[in-house]
Amino acid sequence: MRDKLEYQKDGWYFAQCGRDLETLVAEELQDMQVQQVKTVRAGVHFQAEQEVFYRVNYCSRIASRILAPLVTFRCASENDLYKKGYNFEWEKILDTAHTFAIVSHVSNSAITHSQYAALKLKDAIADRFRAKYGKRPSVDRENPHILLHLNVQDNRAIISLDASGGPLYRRGYRMQGGEAPMQETLAAAIIRLSGWEGKLLLYDPMCGSGTLLAEALLHACHIPSCFRRQYFGFERLPDYDLTLWRKVKKNSDSLICEIPDDLIAGSDIEPSVLKMASANLSLITSGEKVKLIQCDFRQLPELKNYCIVCNLPYGVRQGEKEALKLLYKEFGDFLKR
């Protein structure tokens, strides 16, 4: 590639995250030896060497995905977008045998429709491949080999590669989930906010399919969040270093340890979701050491010197408001015991 890609110029990347989790993500990145961080709405810009960049993708528990900026340019019209998209050397990261998809967001710009912007960029990529090779890569919106992110703000565009190869909340251990299961990245954020470091017993009295328990287990055992992921988007970058990636993975995996029996435990009134929790935990190191009990939290004995975490029901459908009020009161009484 004749010119350096945007991330290659100064080592800046972007960690997307849920709203109000930006500070936690920034702290987590700094724990992983990231050089500089800049928090913005729903994300954190960060500067890192390639080795740290790989580690962030493999180990971040709270970020939603990591983006590697490829190119940025003035984009005051659809023609600007098409021209830049057509002239970019996509063949360096994409070929006709692999699929791609584009997600886009536009704000305060001449281009006003996000889906239209994605379509225009897709056309530019397809036309470039047709002109050079006589055929084009296919689009796969569900499971693409390469996911591109297009952001156009104030008539300035940036195109990034999803370096994570899909959302980081897809840990790979959740084979089964109950009704409205908690997202893994949010569960990891709750574990971090709790301050739990494995010195106290941890208990979830409404554990459902076990997401909070699983994230506590990953944390306690120092298991990288993407320990089951088979592919990362950064493997398609032109400067991908397989030897360095293997080193990062080996060093991170070497920290994995086991936990004492019953350090982490949970209960739920529904036996069906406990079966799901057991199946999910079985895919994680020491998962068999997490104690699961079928029990209504109201019947639990007093829990002294425990770290209690819980995802209480909060969605209110018609007729449920009073029942939820009572549930919250009873749970508050349980915590006061």
Number of domains in the chain: 2
Which residue among 162, 194, 212 closes a domain? Answer: 162
What is the structure's pLDDT at 317? 56
Which residues, in sequence order, are CB contacts of 337 under 8 Å at separation 6+? 302
> Is there a contact between 147 and 233 (Cβ–Cβ < 8 Å)?
yes
In a domain, 23, yes or no: yes
Model confidence at 144, pLDDT cuts 50, 70, 90, reads very high
Instruction: Assign residue 34 the CATH number of its domain.
Output: 3.30.2130.30
In a domain, 252, yes or no: no
In a domain, 232, yes or no: no
In a domain, 251, yes or no: no
10, 76: one domain:
yes
DSSP class of residue 226?
T
In a domain, 26, yes or no: yes
Of 283, 291, 286, 285, nearest in space to 264 by CA: 291
36, 72: one domain:
yes
Sign of torsion over alpha carbons 80, 84, 87, 91: negative
pLDDT in tens, 111-123: 999 999 999 999 9
pTM of the model: 0.94
189, 109: one domain:
no
pLDDT in tens, 170-193: 999 998 766 667 999 999 999 999
Q: Is the pLDDT of residue 47 over 80?
A: yes
In a domain, 119, yes or no: yes
Provide the residue range defining the domain that includes 97.
6-162
157, 216: one domain:
no
In a domain, 48, yes or no: yes
Tokens (6 digits) for 123: 């056309």
Instruction: Assign residue 266 the CATH number of its domain.
Output: 3.40.50.150
Q: Which residue shows structure tokens 């990231």?
A: 34
Q: Is the pLDDT of residue 1 over 50?
A: no
Could you write out the three-class secondary structure of 249-281? HHHHHCCCCCCCCCCEEEEECCHHHHHHHHHHH
What does the alpha-carbon distance between residue 273 and residue 65 come to, in Å, rounded to a whole number? 28
What is the structure's pLDDT at 9? 97
User: How is the beta sheet containing 43-47 ordered, strand by strand?
Assistant: 36-40, 43-47, 12-16, 65-74, 156-162, 146-153, 100-107
Model confidence at 319, pLDDT cuts 50, 70, 90, reads low
206, 118: one domain:
no
What is the structure's pLDDT at 314? 78
In a domain, 243, yes or no: no
